[in-house]
Structure 1
Amino acid sequence: MGMHYLIGHGERLSEPIVLPHGGNKLKDIYTYEESRERLQPELHAVIANLPRNPEIAPDDVHVLQFVLHPKYLAKSYHPSGLIKMANLSLIGSKPIRITTSDASGRDARLSRTLLVAGHRQSLERFDSLLQNPVLDRDEYSGIGDIVKIERISNYTLADKYHPAPPNDDWYELVLHQLDEGLAPDNIRGFLAFAKKLGVEVEDEMNFQSNGLLYLPVHGPEGSVKRLAEYTSVRALRPMPRLKLEPIGTGVRAVRRSVELPKPPDAPTSIDVAVLDGGLPSDNPIAPWVNYIKANPDADDDWRVLGHGLGVCSALLFGNIGSGQQPLHTRITAVRVLDSETMYDDSIGMYKTLNNIENVLESYSFQYVNLSLGPDLPIEDDDVSVWTSVLDGLLSSRDMLLSVAVGNNGELDAGSGNNRIEPPGDAVNALCVGACDSENGYWTRAPYSAVGPGRSPGIVKPDLVAFGGIKDNEFMVLGPGTSPAAIPVMGTSFAAPNALRQAIRIREICGPEITPLLAKTLLIHAAERRENDDQREVGWGRVPSDATEIVTTSDGRALIVYKGRIKPGKIIRATIPVPPHLSQGKIEIAATFSFICKVDPQSPDSYTRSALEVIFRPDANRIDKGRRTPNSVPFFSVSAKGTSDLYSTESERRSDQGKWETVLHAEKRCKASTLVRPVLDIHYNAREEGGGSHTSDELEYALAITISAPKIKNLHRLILEEYPQLVSLEPVINVDGGTI
C-alpha cells in the first residue's frame, strides 16, 4: 500500500465569481398598529421607571432592552432604521428565549435582546410618536421596524448580576464605554459614584474590548450592587478565582527514570511558547527550552513550577513511554504566574491575564499553549474578559493558541457547572478537552469539561487528546536534573499534547503549513464516530501520529487550500475530482476554518464573519431558467450538542449556524454524479448582528479529502489532471528517536 503526502496550493483552483442574488421579503408577523398598541404602553412604563438621580445616569442617558421577535434574528432584518430614527445607540445584545404574542401556546424560542442607550428626551420623543395613531410613517422612516420588536423593558440589576462563589468582597464589573457624544460624563460619573459608595475600583487594572471595560472592584456586597445600578453597567459577578490544577495524581512518589533523546542539532525555526508557571531551576529540559519571565521583577511561585514543567514536557515529548517522537523545535517557556499573581490572589485572574496580554503583544509566537484560566464555567449571555481579550488578540495574529477547557466535567450538569471554562470558548483558539486513552477504544475523560460553547462557537471543545485518567495516567517529566517521569492527568496536558501534533505537521511539511491550516488539519483528521456526542468530544480525537494527518493511503487524496476573500464576494473553489471516474462511490470530506474579529458586547452575534458554502456537484446540471449549476446541501450544523438556550436545529440553522468559525462535513455520492464539482464560498460580514462596512479580507483554510477506494492511483491522477497542484513532500525525516 502506498503512502501519499498531502497536496498543496488548492487555492490555485479557485477564482472569484459573481452570482445573481435576491431574496424573498419576510412577511411581517404583526401589523404596525398591533405593534404600536402593544409597545407604546411598555415604552411609557419604562420611561416612568428611569432613575432621575444624575449620579446613576449622568447626562440623563439610559439603557433599555428591545427584545426582537425570533423571526427577525437574521442580519438582514436588523432594526437599524428604528434605532436611528429614535436617536438611540446600539451598545450590545444578549441571547434570550421567549414566548411571543403571536404564538403564546408554543414553547419558548431563541431570540435576542438589543441593549440600546439614549437620552431621556429621545425616548420621550419616541414615546410621543408611538402615541400618534395617524403618524406619517414616510416622514419618520424607520419607525415601521417596531413590528420586529416583541417587547421593551428596563435594564435592571437583576439582568446584570451573575451569581458566583464569593471572593473576599472582590467583584468583576463590566461597563459599557458609551460614545463621547452621547454620554461624555459616563466614565467620570461612574468613578465618582463608586467613590461616594465607598467601593474601590482598580481602574488601572482594566481590560478594554470593543466598547466594554472590564474592572475589578472591591467593597461590601450591598454597595457594589448599588454601584451596578449605574446605567451603563453591563454585568457584575463575584470575581472568579484563577484555576490551575495541581500537578500529580496523589502518587507523587512514583518516579520512573527515563532516557531523553538527544536534542535536535538544527532545530526548526518555529516560534513556540508555553504560558504557564515557569520552570524549576533543577529541570531536565534546559537544552530544549528558552526561558522568559513575563514579570522579571517578581519571584517564582513554587507551587506552580511543576505544572509549568509538566506542560512543557507534554508539548515536547507527549506521553512519555508511549513511543511518540519529540519535537524538532525548541520551545519558549514563559512564566506568567509568579509571586505577584499568586494564583490564590483574589484578583490573580486579572494580573495573570495582564502578563499574558503583554507577552503575546511583545513576541511573534506562532504556536502557543495556555493551560490555565478563570475557575468559572462559561455563560451564554456574557463573554469572559479572558475570552474577549484573547479572541481579540488572535483575530489579528498568525497564531494557533491551544487552550485547556477545564477539569470540572464531573460537576453538576443541571446548573451548567460542568461546562467548559474560559478561555475554552474562544472561537479563534483551539480548545482541547481530554480523552482517556491513546488506543483504539476511547471516550471523554470523566473530569474533562463538556460543551456546548456559545452560539456561535457551539462545538466546544474543538477536539480531545489523551490527558490521562486514574490507572492510565499521562507521564511527564518531574523536577530534578536527572530525567524521571511522574504520573499526572488533566486537560492541562491534553492541550499541549494536541498542539504538538500541529507543530509536527509544520515540521514535516514546512512553512506551507500556516497555524490556521494546522488547526484545520487537526480538526479534519480527528477520529470521530457516528455516536460521539459533540458536547463531550467536539470534532473528535486528535491522531497521536502527525504522519497520519498529512498522508493518505491508496485510493485517497488530501488537498489543502489557503485563501483570502473580500466581504460580500464569492470564490469558486474546484474540488479536483479527476474526470471520467465512473466506478463506485466517492466520499468527499471538507473542513473550513477561519479567524475573525469578534463582538464580546453581543455574545449572540459574537463572530463578525461567516463563510456560506454551496456545493455544486455537477457543472452540467442547470435547472431551466437558471445560470448556475444546481446545488445540494453539504455543510449543515448538527443539532447534537446544543445547549438548552440553542435547543433546536431549525433555530440554529436559521441564522446562527452559518456564523461558526469551523465547518466540517462528509458526503458520499456516486462517481458518475460528479462533473467538475465546486464549492462556492461567500464571505458574509456583520457587526453586532447588523450590517458591516468593513473592507478587510478574511483569511480561511480548507482541507478536502477525496476517497475513491477503487481508484488506487487517485493521488497521481489528481496531480496529472491539475498540474498547478503540488505534493508537499516532507522537509524533515519523519522517522526519529522515541522516548
Structure 2
Amino acid sequence: MSTNSKRLILANGEKYIVTIQKKKPGRSGDLPRTYDEARTLVRNELTSALGNFASLPDRKRYDDEAVLCLRLHPERMAKSYDPKGLLDTVRDLENVGSRSYKVRTQDVAQTKRIKKQLESGIEELTGRLVFIRSNDAGFRRLLKKLDESERALGKSFCEDIQSIERFDLLRSKEQLLFPAGWKEGRVELVLHPTRHSEAEQMSFLGNLFDQGAKPIMQARPYPDGPTFISCYLSEAALAAIADVNPLRAAHPLVFGGLEDLRSAALFPAPLPPSNSQRSIVRVGIFDGGIDITNAHLKDHAEQDENLSIDTPPDTQCVAHGTAVAGAILYGALNDRKIKENLPAPQVSVVSVRALPTSSISDPDLYECIDVIENAVPVRNDVKFWNISFGPRGPIADDSISRFTYALDALAVAHKVGFCVAVGNDGDAGPDLNRIQAPSDLVNGLGVGAHTILDRSITHAEYSCHGPGRECGKLKPEVTAFGGCNLNPIHLLSLNSGQKLLTKGTSFASPQVASLAGQANGYIDRSSPLLARALVVHTATHTKSKPDERLGYGAIASNFDELVRCDANHVTIVFQKSLAPKEFVKLPIMLPAGLVTVGTATIAWTIACLPSVNALHPSDYTSACIEDTFYPNSQIHRISPPKGAGRLREKILHLGNDADELNKLRDEGWTVSELPVTYSPKYRTEAQKRAVEQKWEPLVKRVVEMPADSLATPFLVLHAIPRKESTGRLEFAAAVSITVPEFQGDLYDTILRTNPALQPVRLRSEAELRIQI
C-alpha cells in the first residue's frame, strides 16, 4: 500500500450521476374482500359509527362536523392506498390526517399473506388509519353510493371500499397517550384540522370542564396542520376529554428540568485560549443562557438578548447553558492539562436564552418553542443549533409533539440542522427509557451519550434509546462522550477558573453540533445536509452495525477525521436534488478490474431533506430516497419468453456467458434492464419500513464483498414522493470504498479516471477567523 499521508475526501461526485429509466412495479397484494362483502361491511360500520357519534354528549362533538376513522386492511399500509377514489367520488369527505393502529392478526380479513403470518405466530399487525372529516349529510351520501351497483361505480372507488377493515370512532385509549398512574401535569392536546376558528376551538374545549376549573390553555395552530394546545390538567380533567371527537391525541408535556449542576464536584480548569481570533463559524444553542463574562467564553460566544425569552435569568439555567457552550467550544475537558491554555475554538457560540419560562412551578415549553421559531429565521448566520432540553417522557408512536414538528419544519424552511439530546431516562425501565421529544425529529440528529470504561466506548446507561417513530426509527443516530459516575465529563463551571464533573446527554449533543457546524462551515460548498451525512458516515460502532443504543456509533474525534482519507480508503461526496419519481444511477467509483484480491467494503450514507406533515405520524415525511445496490454490472437476470412452461429464469454473466446468452436471446429470452441487485426484493411495505428504513431521511449502509465479485458497481436512487409531494428532493451522499489488501494507490487512480472529481476545498484560517 502507498505510504502517502492522509488526503482530502473527493467532491463533485454529482457530476457523474445520470438519470435512468426504470420500470416500477405497481401495487401488489390481494384485495381483502369481494366488493359485495366489503360494501355490506362498510355500510354496517359507517351506520354504527354515525350512531355512536350522534350519541356523544353535545360538549364532546361539533354539530356540523365529525371526524371518523377509516381503518385500512394491514396489507394496505402504504400511503398510496389512501382512499382517493372514494374521496373523489364523494366530494363532501375530506382526508384530514392518518396514523397507524394495532389489530389482532385473527381479527382481519384473511388474505394469503395474513394467513401465513398467523401460521408463523404473528399475533398482532399494524394497519393504517385515515381520518375522514365531513358532516352527517356527507357521510350519508357515501351510504347512498354504496346502494348503487358495482358496475356504475369506478374501479378505484370499489377497490378503496374493498380495502376498508373498519369505519368507526377513535377510541379513548388511542387518544389519551399517558403512562399508568398519571395524576396531573402539563399536557399537550392535538386537535384535528377544522373549519372552526381558533376562538371557537378554545370555547369548545373550555366547555368540557367545570365552570370553576377551566384550565389556562395556549393554542398554536399551524396552516394545513393540527392545532397544538398546552394546558395543565388534573386526572379528572383528562377524563373529561376522553372520546372528544375533535381531539386527535393528548400526551404529557412535562419539563423535567435541566441537569442540576449545583452539587457537581469542582476542580481547577485549564487556562483560556491565548489566541486573539474568533471563528466566524457559528453554532447556536437554545438553553438557559450563558455567563458571558466567563474568561473561557467572553471572546468566543455571544448572547442574543433581543431574541431571548423575556424572563429574568436563573442561575441554575445559566450554569447549564455555560456548560453546554463550553462543550461546543472545547469538548470534554477531561484530558486537558490545568496549567496549559486551551486551543482556540474551531467555532463560536450564539446563545439564545429559552429558559426559564415565565412560571418556575409549571414550566410551559410552548414559550421556549416560540423563542426557537422566532430566532432561527432571524439568525440566518447560524446553520446548526443545539437543544439539550425537552419534555420528559418517552415519545408516543402515533402523536407528533409541537416541539418535534417545529424543529423539522424549521430545518426544511431555513436549511438548518439541529442536534438534540435524547434524554437521561435510559435506566428508568422498559416503558420509560425510550428517546424523548424533540430528539425524534427526522430532519436533524438525535444524540445519545456514551462513556469510556476500560478504554472502550460503551452506551451510558442513563442515555435514552430507540426505537424512534415511523420515518425515523434508527435513534439515536450518533453518540458522543457524556460521562458516567465512574468517568464523568469535565465541563466549564460558572465559578471562574473552575470546571465541574457531571454526566448527561445534554453535554454529548453540543459536541455533535460543534462537529457538524465545522463540516458545514469549513468545507467550501458544503451544506447542513452534507454535514449531517458526514457526521453519520464517519461514526464508528463497536459492533460494526447500528443499534438502538449507540445508533450508527460514536462521532469522529475531530473534524480532520471527517474530511481525510488515504490510498486505500477513499470517500466521495455527492450533492444534488431529485424530481419526484426520478431514478438516477450513482456510480461507486471503483475502477473496473483494478482490485481483484481480498475484501472490498462499500459504505454509503444518504441524507435528504423532505417536508413533514404532523397530520400523518406514520407517514410523516413527504418523500424518501430508495437506494438499491448493484455490485456487478455484468451479471443479469435472463427471463424466458411468456408461455414457456416450466422454464425458469437464469442468471448469466454478459461476458463470460456470451455464447449462451446470444442463443437464449435468439429463442426469445429477455435480459433484465439492470444487473442483479444485492439489495433485498419483494418485501411488504411494513417490512421495508422495519428492515430497510424506507421513508427515513437518513440511511447508512455497509456492504463487504470479495473484491473480485465487484465490476463497475453502482447505486440506483429512486425519489419516492407521497401523493401530495411535488417539489424536488435535496440530498447529500457520502460513499466510501475500502480495499485494505490493495497494493496500489486507489485514491490517485480514482482521481485520474474521474477528472471532474476534486478534493474538497477547505476554507483557510484567514477566511474563517476575525480579530477579537
Mark yes or no: TM-score above 0.5. Answer: yes
TM-score relative to the length of structure 2: 0.85
Q: Deviation digits for residues 606-635 of structure 1, max 9, x if unmatched?
A: 111110122233334444424633141348
2:368 aligned to which of 352, 355, 379: 352
On the 8 A contact 1:455/1:656 being kept in 2, the answer is no
On the 8 A contact 1:635/1:663 being kept in 2, the answer is no
Q: Match of 2:72, as an amino acid? A: L
Question: Which structure 2 residues correspond to residues 114-129 of structure 1 after superposition, within 5 A?
Answer: 114-129=130-145
Aligned to 2:655: none
Task: Give the whole-Å Cα distance in 2 for the aligned partners of 1:88 and 1:77.
Answer: 16
1:667 aligns with 2:703: yes
Secondary structure of the 1:696 match is coil
On the 8 A contact 2:284/2:386 being kept in 1, the answer is yes
On the 8 A contact 1:561/1:702 being kept in 2, the answer is yes
2:732 aligned to which of 688, 701, 713: 701
Task: Give the whole-Å Cα distance in 2 for the aligned partners of 1:230 and 1:525.
Answer: 48
Q: Deviation digits for residues 127-146 of structure 1, max 9, x if unmatched?
A: 3444x485544369614312
Change over 3 Å in CA distance of 1:650–1:684 after alignment to 2: closer
Q: Give the drift of 1:225.
A: 4.0
1:554 aligns with 2:554: no
On the 8 A contact 2:419/2:447 being kept in 1, the answer is yes
1:271 aligns with 2:282: yes
Q: Give the drift of 1:226.
A: 3.3
Change over 3 Å in CA distance of 1:668–1:712 after alignment to 2: same
Aligned to 1:421: 436
Task: Give the whole-Å Cα distance in 2 for the aligned partners of 1:123 and 1:11.
Answer: 51
Question: Which structure 2 residues correspond to residues 23-172 of structure 1 after superposition, within 5 A?
Answer: 23=26, 25-51=28-54, 55-86=59-90, 87-98=92-103, 99=105, 100-102=108-110, 103=114, 105=118, 106-130=122-146, 132=147, 134-138=149-153, 142-164=157-179, 170-172=186-188
Question: Which structure 2 residues correspond to residues 241-640 of structure 1 after superposition, within 5 A?
Answer: 241-247=255-261, 250-252=263-265, 254-263=266-275, 265=277, 267-280=278-291, 282-284=293-295, 285-293=297-305, 294-295=307-308, 297-322=310-335, 326-338=344-356, 340-342=357-359, 344-364=360-380, 365-413=382-430, 415=431, 417-437=432-452, 440-481=455-496, 483-506=497-520, 509-530=522-543, 534-584=547-597, 585-624=599-638, 625-626=670-671, 628-634=673-679
Change over 3 Å in CA distance of 1:136–1:20 after alignment to 2: closer
Q: Give the drift of 1:3.
A: 1.2
In structure 1, list runs of 5 or more residues that go unmatched: 639-647
Q: Match of 1:547, as an amino acid? A: D
In structure 2, list runs of 5 or more residues that go unmatched: 337-341, 639-669
On the 8 A contact 1:370/1:404 being kept in 2, the answer is yes
Change over 3 Å in CA distance of 1:341–1:12 after alignment to 2: farther
Q: Give the drift of 1:506.
A: 4.3
On the 8 A contact 1:167/1:346 being kept in 2, the answer is no
1:680 aligns with 2:698: no
Task: Give the whole-Å Cα distance in 1 for the aligned partners of 2:385 and 2:201.
Answer: 40
Q: Match of 2:756, as an amino acid? A: Q
On the 8 A contact 1:137/1:143 being kept in 2, the answer is no
1:15 aligned to which of 18, 25, 36: 18
Secondary structure of the 1:306 match is helix
Task: Give the whole-Å Cα distance in 2 for the aligned partners of 1:685 and 1:276.
Answer: 36
- CA RMSD in angstroms comes to 3.0
Task: Give the whole-Å Cα distance in 2 for the aligned partners of 1:375 and 1:579.
Answer: 53
Aligned to 2:759: 727
Task: Give the whole-Å Cα distance in 2 for the aligned partners of 1:533 and 1:588.
Answer: 16
Q: Give the drift of 1:652.
A: 4.2
Change over 3 Å in CA distance of 1:24–1:144 after alignment to 2: closer
Task: Give the whole-Å Cα distance in 2 for the aligned partners of 1:394 and 1:506.
Answer: 14
On the 8 A contact 2:225/2:613 being kept in 1, the answer is no
On the 8 A contact 1:566/1:697 being kept in 2, the answer is yes
Secondary structure of the 1:142 match is helix
Q: Match of 2:735, as an amino acid? A: I
Task: Give the whole-Å Cα distance in 2 for the aligned partners of 1:526 and 1:491.
Answer: 17
Aligned to 1:643: none
Q: Give the drift of 1:200.
A: 4.2
Question: Which structure 2 residues correspond to residues 185-264 of structure 1 after superposition, within 5 A?
Answer: 188=200, 190-192=202-204, 194-195=206-207, 197=209, 198=211, 200=214, 205-208=219-222, 210-218=224-232, 221-223=235-237, 225-227=239-241, 229-247=243-261, 250-252=263-265, 254-263=266-275
Q: Give the drift of 1:593.
A: 0.8
Task: Give the whole-Å Cα distance in 2 for the aligned partners of 1:537 and 1:487.
Answer: 23
On the 8 A contact 1:264/1:329 being kept in 2, the answer is no
Task: Give the whole-Å Cα distance in 2 for the aligned partners of 1:85 and 1:666.
Answer: 47
Q: Deviation digits for residues 281-311 of structure 1, max 9, x if unmatched?
A: 5422101111113346431112211100000
Between 656-665 and 390-399, the greater mean CA deviation after superposition: 656-665
Task: Give the whole-Å Cα distance in 2 for the aligned partners of 1:452 and 1:329.
Answer: 32
Secondary structure of the 2:457 match is coil
1:714 aligns with 2:725: no
Aligned to 2:339: none
Task: Give the whole-Å Cα distance in 2 for the aligned partners of 1:279 and 1:650.
Answer: 46
Q: Match of 2:268, as an amino acid? A: R
Task: Give the whole-Å Cα distance in 2 for the aligned partners of 1:276 and 1:328.
Answer: 21
Number of equivalences: 707
Q: Deviation digits for residues 430-466 of structure 1, max 9, x if unmatched?
A: 1100001288511110100011101220000011110
Change over 3 Å in CA distance of 1:420–1:615 after alignment to 2: same
On the 8 A contact 2:580/2:728 being kept in 1, the answer is yes
Change over 3 Å in CA distance of 1:637–1:556 after alignment to 2: farther
Q: Give the drift of 1:335.
A: 1.1
